[in-house]
Chains A and B, each alone.
Chain A
Amino acid sequence: MQSTNDIKNTDQKTLDHKTLTKSFYLWFWGALTCFSQEHMQTFGYMASMLPILKKLYPDHDDQVEAIHAYTAFFNTNPMLGTVIVGITASMEEARADGQDIDGETINDMRAGLMGPLAGIGDSLIDGTLIPILLGIALGMSSGGSPIGAIFYIVAWVLIAYFGQRFLYFRGYTLGSRAVNILVGAQGAAIRRAIGIVGAMVVGGVLASWVNVTTSLKLRGADGKVFLNLQSKLDSIYPGLLTVLITFFCWWLMSKKHVSAIWTMVILVVISFVGVLVGFFNPGLSY
């Protein structure tokens, strides 16, 4: 497979499996190790491209020149973004073979894909897959059992490792066609469908694990309770207060553009006032 390259165009340069695997591992373990706000994943990217460049360009000066294509800013979802590294590996191979590809072509592809894949990855992985896995794991771990935590570790690491490995080699073999399923019309349908699963599971997580209740009870002159607000609310819709507080937080953050930290501060104020007037009482004692 590795022959001499004295006649450049007729002599195919092919990356072997070992080099690609090494590049994949460098990305898997090091996409964000040297993270900074200014360059984000740039160094992780360069580190994972290094074995590929060294394989394709025997001459040191060519390697130095080739790495300059990867000095541009790079940041994406590190899981889905693996496919981009795979695609660049195949493009770099084509460039070394003398095809009409230069550093700018490679960079345009990277810059064009990193934004969309970051958005898809954040909603698909952070917004859907992780909450589902964690939601199931939390149920298994209620009562202090370590089973749920172990389930999450095994399930997620297997999905992440084999998923990223698949994406990397998919990117290498298919080139930019690899992302068609993610960005095309079918991809949009799949994303919407998965989004429904995510939304329902998150609703379930909220109902199963969060329970905001009021302790407000109005008493008549004879000392009997004539209004128990919590049981009234439960007869209307179980968990009503929990949903209302969540919608309130959502409204603050997405409509009023309040940051998450200030939203928490507002909850502190609400709690403080609520405790003072007797609306909230966690019923504490030693």
Chain B
Amino acid sequence: MTISWLQAAIFGLFACLCSNSCMAGQAVGNYTIGRPLVGGLVCGIVLGDIKLGIACGVAMQLVYIALVTPGGTVSADVRAISYIGIPLAMVAITSQGLNPLGGTAANLAKSIGTLVGTVGTVLYYAVATMNLVWQSFGWKDIEKGKIDRITGVNFGWPWISQMLFSFIPAMLLTHYGATAVTALRTALPMDGIAMKTLFTVGGMLPCVGIAILLRQIVNRPVDFIPFLVGFTLCASLKLNLVSVTIISLLFAILIYEIEMAHNSSSNGGSAAIETNGDDDEEDI
């Protein structure tokens, strides 16, 4: 599998639309086009193998299922994951002759995607830095009272940053990277230590993504319990995710009712939860 200039240019355009400071808006750009699962669909259509594209997208989406950017700091760049990593992973999987739906292919995709995504954060900071130039134009316009130009500063000029740091890198890396990835097969044999390590890491990387999310939702040790209940429902009872969501809604209702009852009994002590708030009669 090779990537033509036209296909590479399409990846470049999608990279402009979806990066963290994206040209297609946050909801549509970053949160839709940028997600690896959607990127897998786009790359699959462009490269003519939707099945493989989706398989790569699913694998990489797992690593980044909880991509949070608190305060504008990023640990991975979605444009690089979805529109450089996925095309390269697709080429690599095809050239290695792996079953696209197998675990080995998925682990290879995760390793490539994470590597590219991490390195790709450079692009994120490059765009943000270059936008300072356009913003300085904006400040001057405001000073001179030409406030109509703010729209152009916000929607027009940043395309130049995106062309330089999204379009061109994505186009060059996917076009030339495809050849390099194909050469990997001869350079690194599958039963060598390097490849074994790469695939083992690929299998573990989603744990980092989940752990990032856990950091967001776990404040006290007991907060681990709903997480473990969800895990047990799937791992031991083999339920699917829709079923787990429905079961979790029951707990959500209970928590809501308890919290509200807790609020209305103006007592405030944590003992109220343990005793269901029933024997707290004293109103202050």
Interface residues of A (CB under 8 A from B): 26, 28-40, 42-44, 46-47, 50, 53, 60-61, 63-64, 67-68, 71, 75, 78-79, 118, 122-123, 126-128, 130-132, 134-139, 141-146, 148-150, 152-153, 156-157, 160-161, 164, 185-186, 188-190, 192-212, 237-239, 242-243, 245-250, 252-254, 259-261, 263-264, 267-268, 270-272, 274-276, 280-286
Contact = CB atoms under 8 A, between A and B. Distances in A.
A78 B26 contact: yes
Nearest to B145: A64
A220 B49 CA distance: 48
A32 to B, nearest CB: 5
Interface residues of B, number: 120
B273 to A, nearest CB: 11
Nearest to A145: B54
Given A186-B263, A209-B62, A249-B210, 20 more contacts: A29-B25, A29-B155, A33-B25, A35-B158, A43-B153, A64-B142, A67-B150, A138-B58, A146-B44, A189-B263, A196-B252, A197-B249, A200-B227, A207-B234, A238-B235, A243-B228, A246-B210, A263-B208, A264-B208, A282-B104
B52 interface: yes
A189 B254 CA distance: 10
Contact of A276 (B41, B129, B193): B193
B207 interface: yes
- Would you list the 9 A-B pairs with minimal beta carbon distance, nearest first? A203-B230, A35-B21, A200-B230, A207-B234, A144-B51, A249-B211, A160-B27, A189-B259, A203-B231
Nearest to B118: A261
Nearest to B96: A286
Contact of B37 (A60, A141, A238): A141
Contacts of B72: 35, 37, 40, 75
Contacts of B145: 60-61, 64
Given A146-B41, A149-B40, A190-B256, A253 B211 contact: yes
A36 B157 CA distance: 13
A235 B218 CA distance: 28
Interface of B: 20-28, 30-32, 35, 37-38, 40-41, 44, 50-52, 54-55, 57-58, 61-62, 65-72, 75-76, 96-97, 100-101, 103-104, 107, 114, 118, 125, 127-129, 131-132, 134-135, 138-139, 142, 145, 147-148, 150-151, 153-155, 157-158, 190-191, 193, 195-197, 199-201, 203-208, 210-218, 223, 226-236, 239-242, 244-245, 247-249, 251-253, 255-256, 259-260, 263
A53 B253 CA distance: 44
A34 B134 contact: yes
Contacts of B242: 136, 139
Contact of A204 (B103, B107, B218, B241): B241
A249 B75 CA distance: 15
A211 B104 CA distance: 12
Contact of A281 (B196, B227, B239): B196
Given A79-B27, A238-B236, A203 B241 contact: no
A265 to B, nearest CB: 10
Contacts of B240: 139, 208
B154 A196 contact: no
A36 B132 contact: yes
B231 A243 contact: yes
Given A46-B154, A198-B217, A284 B37 contact: no
B97 A286 contact: yes
6 contacts: A130-B31, A146-B41, A188-B259, A200-B245, A282-B203, A283-B104
B252 A205 contact: no
A144 B70 CA distance: 32
A154 to B, nearest CB: 10
Given A47-B155, A243-B231, A267-B201, A37 B218 contact: no
